[in-house]
Amino acid sequence: MPYGMSKDNNILSARRLFKAYYIGDSKIDVLIEVNLNIDRGESVSIRGESGCGKTTLLNILAGIERPNSGAVNWKGKNIFTQKPAQMADWRSIFFGIIFQSYYLIPELNALENVYMPARIRGELGIPEENRAHNLLERVGLRKRMKSSATTLSGGERQRVAIARALMNKPAVIFADEPTGNLDEKNGEGIMDLILDICEEENTALVLVTHNKKFANRTDRQFSLHESKLENIS
Amino acid sequence: MPWPIYLALKQLFPSGKRISLFFVMSVCGVMLGVMLLVIVESVMGGFGETYRKKIVDTSGHLQIKTNGVMYDADTVLNLLSRQPEIKGAAPFAGGVVMLQNGSHPAFPFVRGIDINLESTVISIDKFLVVGKIDDLDDDSVFLSSSLATSINARMGSTVDVYTPIMLEKLKSDEVLLPRELNVTGIYQTGWNDFDSNTMIVTLRLMQDLYNLSDAVHGISIRLHDGVDEFKFAETISLDLPEDYRAVTWMEMYQDFLWVLQLEKNLMFFLLIFIVLVAAFVIAIAQLLTVIRKTREIGLLSAIGARPIHLMACFCFQGFFIGVCGTILGIISAMTALHFRNGIIDWFAGITGSREALEKFYQFSELPVHYSMTDFLVISISALVLSTLAGLVPAWRASRLNPADALRNE
């Protein structure tokens, strides 16, 4: 999706986000006056040094962490003014999240892990089952669907996590260093997969990464430097 | 299946893995508690039932009583004979006398019975160790086994009976000689209250000893099987003359039965602590699970799980452990109770306590009575405690901030 879409396409916007952590008496400002718009189907990357607050920003955008001030508007409504249950429902329906450490549920097999977001959403049916199968096929795990999450390799786990993030056909995928725990070859494969699938499904992508090469493959690139977000596209 | 239940079951029974040790330990805790509760409550219930049967066998279901003596027993007996619920009714008179056999005195409670009618209420024959009911006449007496032993009397012994009337006569300078009676029977009912210090004579003799003329002290009643004695006592009391009342076996021995019930309740109270300890095991195991799975909880929250559903997931695990523990506990208890006599034999054989068991408890076999109410109370208590045990960890899980949970190391 090209840079500079019309305002009608905007689905997620962050306004004047401020986040600070307090450790004892000292205050660490992580995000200051951060503004960001995400359009439907576009991909955005956020780079920055370790510990600069990239994950915090991603968590705030995904509604799993609250800022000290500012708003994240989803379809015109500030998600942080909603009740926890409503926020959870929104995350379930509109957002998909991929973590660096995969976070698969070890008691479930690959297919069950992918199917979990549909269970949480309460949509259990043949179409959802087919989608879970198709997604696992799409990420190249057709033969490992019934394998326990604990028996999968790092790359396979991340593929399952990608399929899981896409299960509920989200409008935005938040990917937090999805290749951080993988070797270069596996990392490139995973990155290709995420970008391709997001394009196929017309899903917006917010990618947090250290890797400049991966970041350059997104529509817009941002850098988080000294608590401020800069457009470096 | 709602996802909290699905995930709770998956966490307890992971795909392709062994069952969690926490789960096994928690279930075992609840199972042991429930098993002990069921065994103890059923045995205590068995004692209660056995005593109830013995009381009814030796006293009848009801007694019609009045303040003092009953001069119109025939009228009351006539009224009772028209009640279809009544199987038999017999008048009786009773009181304390002094009994002496040689130099062995005793002060037993003597019960005067109508030989013709008594068998419709109490089968004395059934309890006679020696002698038979036809041997009882106005010059003879049946002694309870313990009484006979204490005064060293046996079949054919002659015993002297002194009554309170004799003391009255002494005050007016009259002297009445003691009544000499032949021991023609010795009985043992198995009901300690009856066996320890009682004797049986004919009603005519008792009326004579107590100078009652034709009066009696009450009427014993046995009801047909299936008749509710408590309801019948209420109904018949309305038809009885003024000052007369129907007293059930439970009222007659209410102190003893109250103690028995108190013992049963006390045992429940004490043993429920085992279930409580099991609940703590569940709480600790679940809390550890919550700590161990903090990141997964964060993940679930991040992908859209509502806090209340996260809570339900962990709460259900406590409930499910409670269900498994309760079912296994009841099955184990029923199995142990089925083989109870073998177990008791084995235990008595090892400790050499068989004689003591029979002497003090008067049961050669351990009595058991299964009560649906007991089962329900035990099951509900175990389930409630197990579920509550899961509640604290569940509440903690639901309160976790997803971002903090995901950062958890």
Q: Cβ–Cβ contacts within 10 Å for residue B153, how many?
A: 23
Are B115 and B141 within 8 A, CB to CB? no
Per the prediction, chain B carries an average pLDDT of 85
* pLDDT of A6: 42
Mean pLDDT, rounded, for B158-177: 82
Backbone angles phi, psi at B139, to 5 degrees: -115, 15
Using an 8 Å CB-CB cutoff, list chain A residues near B401.
Answer: 65
Residue B181 placed within a domain: yes
* pLDDT of B8: 87
The answer on B200 and B79 residing in a single domain is: yes
Mean pLDDT, rounded, for B275-279: 79
- For residue A102, what are the domain limits? 41-52+84-231
Mean pLDDT, rounded, for B360-381: 81
Mean pLDDT, rounded, for B370-394: 86
Write the DSSP symbol of residue A149. Answer: G
The answer on B84 and B48 residing in a single domain is: no
* pLDDT of A48: 87
* pLDDT of B361: 62
Question: Pick from A92, A107, A122: which is nearest to B303 by CB?
Answer: A92
Does residue B185 carry a pLDDT above 90? yes
The pair of structure tokens assigned to B184 is 């023609």
- Cβ within 8 Å, pair B304-A105: no
* pLDDT of B194: 79
Q: Which residue has the higher pLDDT, B11 or A205?
A: A205
Residue A62 placed within a domain: no
Collect all residues with Cβ–Cβ distance below 8 Å to B316 and sequence separation of at least 6: B4, B5, B8, B390
pLDDT tens for chain A, 233 residues long, are 433 344 568 888 999 999 998 888 888 888 898 899 888 889 999 998 888 888 899 999 988 888 999 999 987 888 888 888 888 888 888 899 988 888 898 888 899 999 999 999 888 888 889 989 988 888 888 888 888 888 888 888 888 988 898 888 888 999 988 887 777 777 788 888 888 888 888 889 999 988 888 888 889 999 988 888 888 87
Structural domain count of chain A: 1
* pLDDT of A162: 87
Does residue B199 carry a pLDDT above 90? yes
- For residue B295, what are the domain limits? 3-52+257-407
β-strand A10-23 against A172-176: which pairing, if any? Answer: unpaired
Residue B191 placed within a domain: yes
pLDDT digits (tens, 9 = 90+) for A82-131: 888 888 888 888 899 988 888 898 888 899 999 999 999 888 888 889 98
Residue B231 placed within a domain: no
> Closest approach of chain A CAs to the CA of B329, in angstroms?
28
The answer on B379 and B312 residing in a single domain is: yes
The answer on B204 and B141 residing in a single domain is: yes
The pair of structure tokens assigned to B351 is 């400790």
Distance between CA atoms of residues B376 and B382, nearest Å: 10
Using an 8 Å CB-CB cutoff, list chain B residues near A109.
Answer: 15-16
The answer on B47 and B75 residing in a single domain is: no
* pLDDT of B110: 93
Residue A209 placed within a domain: yes
Q: Which residue bears the tokens 């046996």?
A: B154
The residues on A that touch B, with CB distances below 8 Å, are 56, 59, 62, 64-65, 84-85, 88-93, 95-97, 99, 101, 103, 105-109, 112, 116-117, 119-122, 148, 164, 168
Residue B14 placed within a domain: yes
The answer on B199 and B165 residing in a single domain is: yes
Mean pLDDT, rounded, for B196-221: 91
Residue B240 placed within a domain: no
Structural domain count of chain B: 2
Residue B318 placed within a domain: yes
Backbone angles phi, psi at B190, to 5 degrees: 90, -5
Q: Tell me how far CA of residue B3 lies from CA of A173, A200, A213, B10, B109, in angstroms.
A: 23, 29, 40, 10, 71
> Closest approach of chain A CAs to the CA of B379, in angstroms?
30
C-alpha torsion sign, points A53, A58, A64, A67: positive
Residue B239 placed within a domain: no
Helix (H, G, I), strand (E, B), or coil: what is residue A111? helix
Mean pLDDT, rounded, for B21-36: 86
CATH number of the domain where residue A164 is located: 3.40.50.300
The answer on B201 and B92 residing in a single domain is: yes
- Cβ within 8 Å, pair A97-B303: yes
- Cβ within 8 Å, pair A119-B3: yes
Interface size between A and B, measured as CB pairs under 8 A: 87
Its ipTM equals 0.85
* pLDDT of A4: 37
Does residue B358 carry a pLDDT above 80? no
The answer on B72 and B16 residing in a single domain is: no
The answer on B180 and B320 residing in a single domain is: no
The answer on B270 and B202 residing in a single domain is: no
Using an 8 Å CB-CB cutoff, list chain B residues near A59.
Answer: 402-403, 406
Residue B237 placed within a domain: no
The pair of structure tokens assigned to B91 is 């008048």
The CA-CA-CA angle for residues B192, B198, B200, to 5°, reads 130
The answer on B402 and B266 residing in a single domain is: yes
The answer on B112 and B73 residing in a single domain is: yes
* pLDDT of A1: 40
The pair of structure tokens assigned to A93 is 């329906």
